[in-house]
Amino acid sequence: METVSENRCFGGIQTVYKHRSAVCACEMTFAVFLPPQAGNGKVPCIWYLSGLTCTHENAMTKAGLQAHAAEHGVAIIFPDTSPRGDHVADDEAYDLGQGAGFYVNATKAPWNAHFKMYDYIVKELRDLVEGAFPLNGRHGITGHSMGGHGALIIALRNPDLYQSVSAFAPISNPTQSAWGRKQLTAYLGDDEAEWADYDATILLRERGWNGEILIDQGADDQFISLLRPHALAGVVTENCQPAVLRMQDRYDHSYFFVSTFGGDHIAWHAERLRGANHTLTISREAAQ
């Protein structure tokens, strides 16, 4: 790894790194926040996956998660959202190609040469950070929009690797959304049976989750029809899946929304990553 930048932050260290990825066949960038507690021993970590057009930097600088992570003694990993470089396939549209990896392993040309974001997050980058940083092996995962989709599908497919999962305004049902069908067709082909492993609504119906799920959704989200939160909520009800689904009045899709509820999500993960006993609670406001 090569260190790109390092800054003191809430008693901890916020660092950005780049490295050569064998999985994505290009140079990748990611960021790590280590809380002050990491100076005294190993800590759990939370993965934050970002949305369309983002890099590692958006959440690192806009979400305000470091203060909460320092309070609770958890590290945060901020990966990039796709492979990048002049030799990496791209598209003129903002929602396909670089910045729009959708956390899938592409199987169709030209995307399959580099777009292996599922394996990059689940395998390569996980192995890298566990070997390089004082992490205790307990992982939570969250994300926003496309990153919320990524967090949900990765956790649901790998319950042995993640002890907690949450999401901010996730793309919940991409196989039935314009934010999904276009990308899944490009990356995986026309056979919709191949798409199911990348749809949180389908995965939750078929596999469930061995704990609670926390999802926040802005009621005034300008992209809510593309996100399809009602589809995921329907499966939560059908499966009696323990979950807190909060529709937040007058909030949109921006990082103002993420930063408002980021502290709740860090605390949610920290409690579960400690392995503490906890009870499922829904606030009075969330239930309305």
Please enumerate in sequence order all residues whose Cβ is within 8 A of that of 92, keeping only pairs 6 or more positions apart, or say none. Answer: none
Give the integer Cα–Cα distance in Å for 270 and 73. Answer: 8
145 counts as catalytic: yes
Q: Of residues 56, 68, 144, 253, which has the active-site annotation?
A: 253
Radius of gyration of the chain (CA): 18
Q: Of residues 21, 50, 82, 145, which has the active-site annotation?
A: 145
Q: Of residues 80, 199, 216, 221, which has the active-site annotation?
A: 221
Report strand pairing: 2-9 vs 213-218.
Answer: unpaired
Closest CA to 164 of 129, 200, 139, 135: 139
114 counts as catalytic: no
Torsion of CA 98, 99, 100, 106, to 10 degrees: 40
The DSSP call for residue 180 is H
- DSSP lists the bridge partners of residue 2 as 18
- DSSP lists the bridge partners of residue 30 as 17, 79
DSSP output for 187-234: HH-S-GGGGGGG-HHHHHHHH--SS-EEEEEETT-TTHHHH-HHHHHH
190 counts as catalytic: no
Q: Which residues are part of the catalytic machinery?
A: 145, 221, 253
